[in-house]
Structure 1
C-alpha cells in the first residue's frame, strides 16, 4: 500500500468542458463499452471520488437526520447479519431460552426498519446517485491520448492508484491493447 499514488485531479476543461468529447457508447459492443468505462474510472478517479463525496454531502446536508438514521439502520443490519452468521448457535440458544424477548426483538426490529425505511432510502440514494452519475460520465466520455497513456502505466503496474486497487479487487482490468 505504500506505493499507492493518488491520481491527479483532472481539470474541469478535460473532465466536462472544453476538450471533453462525449458520445453514446455502442451498446452492441459491450466489451468496448466496459473497457471505456474502466479506463475512464482509472483516469478520472479523483474527480469521481470528489464528485461522489460532494453529492453525498449535499444530500446529507439536505436530509441530515434521515442520512444518519439510514446509516445507523444499514450499519445495524450489517452488524446483525455478521453477528448472526458468525455466532449462529448462540442466537438459537438465546431464542430457545428467552422466547418472549426474542419475539419482542423481532417486532421492534421490524418496526424500526419500517420506520427507518424512508431514511434508508435517502441514505442509499446518497450512495447510488453519485455512482449513477459516475457511470453515466464514464460511459459517455470518450478517451483522449493522455487518458490512454496514463491507463497503460496503471495496467502494466508502473503506477498503483486507489481505483486500480478497487477494480483489481473486483476482478476488472481494462484491455491493455485498446
Structure 2
C-alpha cells in the first residue's frame, strides 16, 4: 500500500472551466451519478478543501463560539459512527447495505445535537454551505481523461489520498474497486 499523498491544487480553468464542461447529472442512473461525484471528489479534493476552508474561516470569524461547538459535535458524531461501524455488527451491516443512508444518519444526528446546543445557523452556514457547494460542483462537473485516470489509480490502491481514505471509510469506494478489479480481470482474459 502506497503512502498517503495530497493531490495538487488544480488550476482555476480546470476546476471551473466554461459552461460546456458542466452538465446536469442523470438522476435515473444513480450508479453513474455516484461515479461522477466520487471521481470529482478524488480529483478536485484540494480545491474543495480550499473552498470549504474559505467558507469555514469566514463563518468562524463571524461566530467563533458557535463554530467551535459545531466542530466539536460533528467531529464527535463522525468519530462515534466510525467506531460503531467497526465495532458493532448491526451498524457495520447497515453501513455496508446503504452507505448513503449511513452518511445521512450521521448528518441528521449532528444536526439534532447542534440544535440542542443552539448553534444551528452556524452549522447550516459553516458546514452545510461548503458541503452543498462541493456536492453541486462534483455532481455537475463532467470528468476529463486526467480525472478518470486519477480515479483508477486511487481505486487500484496505487495511490492513497485523504479523500480516498474518507470515501473508503464512508463505504463509497468499495463498489468502484470491485468494478475496476472485474474490468482488469476481463482485460487479462483477452
Gaps of 5+ in 2: 81-113, 184-190
Task: Please report the RMSD computed on the Cα atoms of aligned residues, expressed in angstroms.
Answer: 2.7
Q: Once the two structures are superposed, what CA deviation does each residue of 1:103-144 show, in whole Å capped at 9, x if it has no partner?
A: xxxxxxxxxx88952x34313431111011100000000000
Which residue does the alignment assign to 1:37?
A: 37
Runs of 4+ in structure 1 displaced over 2 angstroms? 17-20, 62-72, 113-116, 174-177
The Cα shift of 1:20 comes to: 7.0
CA distance in 2, matches of 1:122, 1:142: 31
Q: TM-score, normalised by structure 2?
A: 0.64
Number of residue pairs aligned between Structure 1 and Structure 2: 141
Equivalent-residue separation in structure 2 for 1:65 and 1:56 (angstroms): 13
Distance 1:15 1:124, change over 3 A: same
1:67–1:29: structure 2 CA closer, same or farther, 3 Å change rule? Answer: same
1:47 counterpart = 2:56: no
Q: Is the 8 A contact 1:9 1:47 kept in 2?
A: yes
Task: Tell me which residue corresponds to 2:153.
Answer: 153
- The structure where helix makes up a greater share of residues is 2
Query: 1 CA distance for matches of 2:129 and 2:48?
Result: 12
Report the Cα distance in structure 2 between the residues aligned to 1:166 and 1:120, rounded to whole angstroms: 25
Cα distance in 2 for residues equivalent to 1:41 and 1:114: 29
- Alpha carbons of 1:46 and 1:20: their partners in 2 closer, same or farther (altered >3 Å)? farther
Structure 1 gaps, min length 5: 82-112
If the length of structure 1 is used for normalisation, what is the TM-score? Answer: 0.68
Equivalence for 2:60: 60
Alignment of 1:75-90 (within 5 A): none
Q: Distance in 1 between matches of 2:162 and 2:33?
A: 22
Q: Is the 8 A contact 1:67 1:120 kept in 2?
A: no
